Structure 1
Amino acid sequence: MKSAIVTPPETASRNALAVIATVAAGAAVYWLRDILTPLAMAIFLLIMIDGVKRTIEARTPLPRRWAGVAALALVVLAFFASIGIIVNGAAGFFGEASGVSQNIGPRIDQIIRDVYGLFHLVNPPTAQDLINSIDLRGYLASTAMQVQGIASSAFFVLVYLGFLLASQMGFQRKIVAMFPAKAHRDEAVAVFQRVRGGVEGYLWVQAVTGIMICAAAWLLMRAVGLQNAEFWTFVIFIVGFIPVLGGAVAGLAPPLFALVQFSSYWPAVILLVGLQIILFVVGNFIQPRMQGDNQNIDPVVVLLALAFWGKLWGVVGMFLSTPLAVMAMAVLAEFQGSRWMAVLLSGDGEPYADKGPRKGGKTPPKPRRKPATKGDAEAAG
């Protein structure tokens, strides 16, 4: 008979303390979500600005100072352009949709009758019956509150971003003060580089694959004749940064609107099948080849992170769920006591290829890291 595994009292106490601390941190994050969500978005934009800055420095003759100004201008303009496209696109979408608004009710009634007839059901409801059963006023009020929240959050994001950019100038001195020993300072900068590389890699893959999906989807929607295809194209690109749910919205929203716009079911069927093929090919063949070790995240962890951060921070949490999971894995993998959590978060049990045992059971030698430079310390801010 096998003996039970004995857990030392100090280990049990440490694990219980870690669970309590995790629950308390989650409660604090939820309670302070109005403050933390704009800050998280500002940090997200700061990492984007740093990546664009280094790209400009490497590929253009601009000096270091002007490269930072150009990167800031590009990211801020893109941020405002996204908000403008959403507002103007939504206005244009509803404006063009008014051309078919007179036929929406009868068309929905026809769709309901056809569905009931397909399953041999009787007494189908009408569109007016469905509308009467919905608290439309409550939904409109909730939508208005969300739009107001997005506008105020955008303002605070820019305020936080300005202060973060201003604090970068003194970050190098803070790094030196926190880590007087050069070896420890190099290790701290290496941790930041891993976090930054993971987030930038995620952004790069999602942006490139999103452009591929949008290009193919736009051609398909224009070929079918869907109204305001440009608005749907932008929606598909934005929701592509939300795991799981983004693909569902991108593959189902345009076909559902096509059901109402067209008198035939074929355009909606063509859009549904075509978009699903596009999403399947990009998601299963192109995207995995572009992902590197810094996105070695278990799919279950991606789903749990989406549910967790979506519950805490709403739509903003859904957008940031995967980058936050990447950052958590990068930080946890750097410490011996928390490396086991990074292993659980990873997809193949190896958070990073240069650390820990490989699949052959051999432990590779620890790689020599380049000493931290002044640019790395400044970038860490």
Structure 2
Amino acid sequence: MHKVTKAASTALLLVIIVVCLIYLKSILVPLILAAIFYLIVVEVRTMISGMISLKEHKLPIWLQNLMASLTIFGILFVVVKIMSVSIQNLSESMSHYDGNLQLMEDKLNALFDINITNSLNKMVGDTNFTSLLRTVLSSVTGLFGNAFTILLYIVFLLLEESGFGDKLKAMYPKDSDYVQVMKLLTRVSNLVSSYLTLKTFVSLITGVLSYLVLVFVGIDAPFFWAAIIFILNYIPTIGSLIATLFPAFFIIIQTAEPTLGLVVLLAVGAIQLIVGNFVEPKLMGNSLNVSSLVVLIALAFWGTIWGVIGMILSVPITVLMIIIFGEFESTRRIAILLSETGNIGAPQIRTNLDDDFFFDETVQN
């Protein structure tokens, strides 16, 4: 009876957590994105500190943070500015796309001797492409809507950094406990930072190569579509597929030439295939140790509750779960289940912290 009660309590708590994740989305998503940007700032300031040395003295941490932040936000400002111009150009060109869509439709009707409009209407009903494209563009623009909130979080994370060690020391007075907790936090930070750095590098390669292809075929706003490919490449599995279909479909609408769509589909698809199956595994190896099935489930779960941002964050969140769950005996089996190989290493944190976890008796029994 006690086991049933404990299992029911655990299930109820999980439901409460999921409900909180859904209803606190507007708070949690900017905070998580700010934490990711904070890790990026730490990576960049480490690079800057390594490149700039003042003989026996290091640069002050506030100066490193300032230089890293200005570098990152300078790059983001340029990218957002170019994206804004691209979106404006697309909006101004929309009036031509419906005409091209009708022209392509007439070509297909003549080629296959069918009425493609009636066939499509039976499946999806009447669709106004211009309205659809405006919706997509407004959604992309909305990604920058929380920029100020995220920036505010980043500033306070950087300010809190200086006193965090003292707080942690007060929480764990024993030196051994303090060292073990610091090891865990350092491991989490290093692995997530490594994933984000390598994934960004791989996405950048994919985006640049795709940009060259899109410029060659003459697509409108090639930087915009290359940026979409770059962003969607963070989404496991389906991201690369969607990123390939978007520009291929758009070039058909723009030019009313299905052949160009096929060229883009094959060229960008080949880039995604080569980078995703050869370059990315070579750089990342098996360091993430996440089951492919778990990645798909995490993608569906986080995508359902947080949308596109949830899909992008699904892998880092899963990696965090494996690392943290693997540090406690009461949740270690869950970490093994989520991992790819089942080998998650030995726990590095003290075992008497296990009592703090609600999984304790349920999992062990």
TM-score by structure 2 length? 0.83
Residue 87 of structure 2 contacts residue 137 of structure 2 at CA under 8 Å; is this kept in 1?
A: no
Provide the C-alpha distance between the structure 1 equivalents of 2:132 and 2:322, rounded to a whole number of angstroms.
Answer: 38
Counterpart in the other structure of 2:37 = 45
What's the secondary structure of 1:277's corresponding residue?
helix
Counterpart in the other structure of 2:192 = 199
Counterpart in the other structure of 2:59 = 63
Provide the C-alpha distance between the structure 2 equivalents of 1:349 and 1:36, rounded to a whole number of angstroms.
Answer: 30
Residue 105 of structure 1 contacts residue 127 of structure 1 at CA under 8 Å; is this kept in 2?
A: no
Of 298, 304, 316, 1:305 maps to 298
C-alpha change, 1:293 and 1:185, in structure 2 (3 Å) is: farther
Provide the C-alpha distance between the structure 1 equivalents of 2:336 and 2:285, rounded to a whole number of angstroms.
Answer: 16
Matches within 5 A, 1:118-129: 121-122=114-115, 124-125=117-118
Segment of structure 1 superposing worse, 122-131 or 39-48: 122-131
Which amino acid in structure 1 is aligned with residue 335 of structure 2?
A
Provide the C-alpha distance between the structure 1 equivalents of 2:129 and 2:101, rounded to a whole number of angstroms.
Answer: 17
Shift of 1:192: 0.9
Q: C-alpha deviations, 1:251-298, integer Å up to 9, x for none? A: 111111211233533222111111111111111111112114441111
Matches within 5 A, 1:1-381: 10-61=2-53, 63-65=59-61, 66-95=63-92, 97=93, 101-102=95-96, 104-115=97-108, 121-122=114-115, 124-125=117-118, 133-134=126-127, 150-351=143-344, 354-355=345-346
Provide the C-alpha distance between the structure 1 equivalents of 2:283 and 2:130, rounded to a whole number of angstroms.
Answer: 45
Which amino acid in structure 2 is aligned with residue 77 of structure 1?
G
Q: C-alpha deviations, 1:100-141, integer Å up to 9, x for none? A: x43x33432343345456665447449999999348899699
Counterpart in the other structure of 1:361 = none
Provide the C-alpha distance between the structure 1 equivalents of 2:98 and 2:144, rounded to a whole number of angstroms.
Answer: 33
Provide the C-alpha distance between the structure 2 equivalents of 1:203 and 1:119, rounded to a whole number of angstroms.
Answer: 47
C-alpha change, 1:29 and 1:127, in structure 2 (3 Å) is: closer
Residue 247 of structure 2 contacts residue 264 of structure 2 at CA under 8 Å; is this kept in 1?
A: yes
Provide the C-alpha distance between the structure 2 equivalents of 1:222 and 1:54, rounded to a whole number of angstroms.
Answer: 35
Residue 210 of structure 2 contacts residue 268 of structure 2 at CA under 8 Å; is this kept in 1?
A: yes
Residue 302 of structure 1 contacts residue 322 of structure 1 at CA under 8 Å; is this kept in 2?
A: yes
Counterpart in the other structure of 1:4 = none
Counterpart in the other structure of 2:360 = none
Provide the C-alpha distance between the structure 2 equivalents of 1:150 and 1:263, rounded to a whole number of angstroms.
Answer: 30
Provide the C-alpha distance between the structure 1 equivalents of 2:341 and 2:266, rounded to a whole number of angstroms.
Answer: 32
C-alpha change, 1:300 and 1:117, in structure 2 (3 Å) is: farther
Q: C-alpha deviations, 1:72-105, integer Å up to 9, x for none? A: 222333344443333222113334x35xx43x33
* Structure 2 residue ranges without an equivalent (≥5): 350-365
Which amino acid in structure 2 is aligned with residue 319 of structure 1?
I
Shift of 1:26: 0.7
Shift of 1:148: 7.8
Residue 296 of structure 1 contacts residue 347 of structure 1 at CA under 8 Å; is this kept in 2?
A: yes
C-alpha change, 1:291 and 1:125, in structure 2 (3 Å) is: same
Shift of 1:28: 1.0
Alpha-carbon RMSD: 3.2
Residue 251 of structure 1 contacts residue 272 of structure 1 at CA under 8 Å; is this kept in 2?
A: yes
C-alpha change, 1:166 and 1:289, in structure 2 (3 Å) is: same
Counting aligned pairs with the same residue, the percent is 26
TM-score by structure 1 length? 0.79
Which amino acid in structure 2 is aligned with residue 161 of structure 1?
I
Provide the C-alpha distance between the structure 2 equivalents of 1:46 and 1:58, rounded to a whole number of angstroms.
Answer: 18
Provide the C-alpha distance between the structure 1 equivalents of 2:299 and 2:101, rounded to a whole number of angstroms.
Answer: 33
Segment of structure 1 superposing worse, 46-55 or 277-286: 46-55
C-alpha change, 1:137 and 1:249, in structure 2 (3 Å) is: closer
Shift of 1:59: 3.4
Q: C-alpha deviations, 1:6-27, integer Å up to 9, x for none? A: xxx5554443332221111111
